[in-house]
Chain A
């Protein structure tokens, strides 16, 4: 028995010593990572009545500041916390596309803020707390992209329409059913936001999803039945009238289009691009 006690006490003392002590300042510089051209879409599910959402938006801003145009941020206002509650929160920033994604991915019922990085992790681990975003993005950025996207927009102020031309180029031979999605976002909207215990009346809402050009799930790019050879290109175009959706009231200079390609089987986003409307 003594032998067992001896072994047990050794194991116990190992457990006891298994903790790391970290010294001030408790932070480290972020190392520079290799990048091969893959842009990352971070979707930040948020709401103006969500008390922890400004902290998530601050995390997103930090990530954007660190990685610049390599990371595209999309704030999706959805769920209970995004519903209008006049007089304090009169605006409705929800969209039918945002609501459809929220329902499909089951995000807001599990509490906001939550995010998705390229919608990775089918079907389980999409819901990421904002503390996890930087780590997931850091890993995803070093992936080699399969598709390249280039977008050119022309804005016609006379009828508030956008004509877009998108070119998709395969950087690898792939056989997948791919879809592409075109979204309209607006940046820097000033409106009330709950933050911890207080309401900020003039909060700056960033990167907000305003509309989708092609519905919640986009259009087919490939059908998945044949191989798409490396270096082949596919072009698509779209015409979208801001008048049709009353988007004319938005500040055009702050509006952008986001285009992304995703694998229909896993919903994972393979490449994304963001450019100004005009």
Chain B
């Protein structure tokens, strides 16, 4: 294995800085770190759950990151292999190779990166590149980044490059800059002030050569080759209170996602938080209007997003409460979210010996107000300004609503548990793009209990029940009934620090169709040693949607044996 690692390091350094290979001392004094993950699944056809036949039978996604650091110099790469991509991942990933490589050097107040990098300006409304392996999402930049920190309190960044598109790069050049000023560090008169203020401004411009996209048989769209976006942000905190806000504006950017309208884009995010011992309150609001910003104007999939529009909804981790996740709507949405976390103090009636934690969360996302430009132009009509919109008005269409409450309680030194209730309203026609499908309402109750048998052995029980209404078996055919009720049970047994066993079953017992009352069972085991882990599981995976931060992918039904190996050094 060491030979392989050495090969990677040597190769990466050869790519990045050929002259370094002559410097023996340089090589000897650095440190090498890295990690590896492989997910593979052996698939079996299962017509009952809709799991397709996989000609290769076995599919695998794997990657390894190798990082070499020596003082102010860092270089690294990520080797990826998809042989072939697992079900649910875009098959344009098919192949193996070095998908990410970079070298960074810090000198004086500068930090210079050549090659690939991930970066974010503010909350990402105009620029964020990141990787999320669970989604198969990677919009890494390939180019140059310069960070400049001329004095304490000022951080300037400039970037230029193209974005990853599977094994190629997108056609647009993305360039921009960000400046952040921490006023309390910058001005000595504010150094002792309890109110901390940070200001930031950023700008991004995308260049993509014009192309022939037909408006009709005789005309093509007159496309802007340069699309600009800028954003300003402010963070203020004082004691237990904090407030942060960011506003972003994008110039006209006709593209496939917005039906080639010539309207500007806008986004506003606002978050206010209060926290003290035993109590945390957070409130967020956002407005997104025509903010799909990509480095390829015809791309409709998840790739090549320049910006990031976070979902203001709770990301549920239990399987049944995560069944109806929200996907951000870049063409327009208004959303609010509030959360209170309160710990009922120890030695009170409700608090008991250890205190009781209470979490209440509410979120709601709707459309934005859209009005036709005039009587003869429909809303979102191509090659027009699209629509007019009242900035502060919520639209008529409810996209998503979630009210949930969770009580976390430690009973004694051996037992702790939590009880949750979740109520979700899910606009399937908008979120999943199934026009005509009714809204889904879901009520979910979850109990989670961990019992510590000894200092090393523990057992965890999870019980969930979901009652849904409106979730059709076939979105185009209501006569095929609804999925209705689900129940889920799981037992996990762990022997620290090495072993882990689990048995799980999800059962759609309330389905209107008898042949769809299916058990989605799964048994698994994992073994850990130091920083390595191997995990095996066998069972059925139901079809669904997986979302991380409002970005989603379809997870197809599957049946078979999975293996995951992770390791780091």
Contact = CB atoms under 8 A, between A and B. Distances in A.
Interface of A: 1, 4-5, 8, 11-12, 15-22, 24-30, 49, 51, 59, 61-63, 65-66, 85-89, 103, 106, 109-111, 123-125, 127-129, 131-132, 134-135, 138, 194, 196-199
B248 interface: no
B187 interface: no
Given A20-B225, A124-B166, 19 more contacts: A8-B148, A8-B156, A11-B158, A15-B204, A15-B228, A16-B203, A19-B226, A19-B251, A20-B251, A26-B222, A27-B219, A30-B212, A30-B219, A85-B474, A109-B91, A111-B301, A124-B92, A124-B168, A127-B92
A59 B254 contact: no
A18 B207 contact: yes
Interface stretch (B338-346, B429-437, B451-459): B429-437
Interface stretch (B2-10, B175-183, B518-526): B175-183
27 contacts: A5-B150, A8-B177, A11-B177, A12-B179, A19-B205, A20-B224, A20-B225, A20-B227, A22-B224, A22-B262, A24-B262, A26-B254, A26-B383, A27-B215, A30-B220, A49-B476, A89-B476, A106-B92, A123-B94, A124-B168, A128-B298, A129-B256, A129-B299, A131-B298, A132-B211, A132-B298, A135-B213
A111 B553 CA distance: 11
Which 3 A-B residue pairs are closest in the complex by CB-CB distance? A19-B228, A18-B205, A197-B435
Report whether over half of chain A's contact residues are helix, strand or loop; otherwise say mixed.
Answer: mixed
B164 interface: no
B345 to A, nearest CB: 51
Given A26-B383, A196-B435, A15 B220 contact: no
Contacts of A25: 383
Interface string B137-173: 0000000000010110000101000000011100000
Contacts of A19: 205, 224, 226-228, 251
Looking at B213, B225, B299, which has the most chain A CB atoms within 10 Å of its CB?
Answer: B213
Nearest to A59: B214
Interface string B36-56: 000000000000000000010
Contacts of B226: 18-20
B221 to A, nearest CB: 6
A134 B213 CA distance: 6
Highest count of chain A CB atoms <10 Å: which of B216, B429, B479: B216
Contacts of B55: 103
Interface of B: 55, 90-92, 94, 148, 150-151, 156, 158, 166-168, 175-177, 179, 203-205, 207, 211-228, 230, 251-252, 254, 256, 260, 262, 297-301, 383-384, 429, 433, 435-436, 474, 476-477, 479
B436 A30 contact: no
Given A18-B228, A25-B383, A62-B216, A135 B222 contact: no
A44 to B, nearest CB: 14
Contact of B222 (A28, A65, A197): A28
A59 B212 CA distance: 12
Nearest to B178: A12
A269 B132 CA distance: 36
Given A49-B476, A65-B217, A124-B92, A16 B254 contact: no
B319 to A, nearest CB: 24
B262 A129 contact: no
Given A11-B158, A15-B205, A129-B298, A28 B219 contact: yes
A15 B435 contact: no
A10 to B, nearest CB: 11
A167 B297 CA distance: 41
B301 A134 contact: no
Contact of B151 (A1, A194, A196): A1
B477 A88 contact: yes
Given A20-B226, A26-B254, A27-B222, A66 B214 contact: yes
A134 to B, nearest CB: 4
Contacts of B176: 15
Given A19-B251, A134-B220, A194 B435 contact: yes
Contact of B435 (A24, A51, A124, A135): A51
B214 A63 contact: yes
Contacts of A61: 217
Contact of B479 (A87, A106, A110, A111): A87
A1 B108 CA distance: 12
Given A21-B252, A110-B91, A27 B383 contact: yes
Contact of B175 (A18, A109, A111, A197): A18
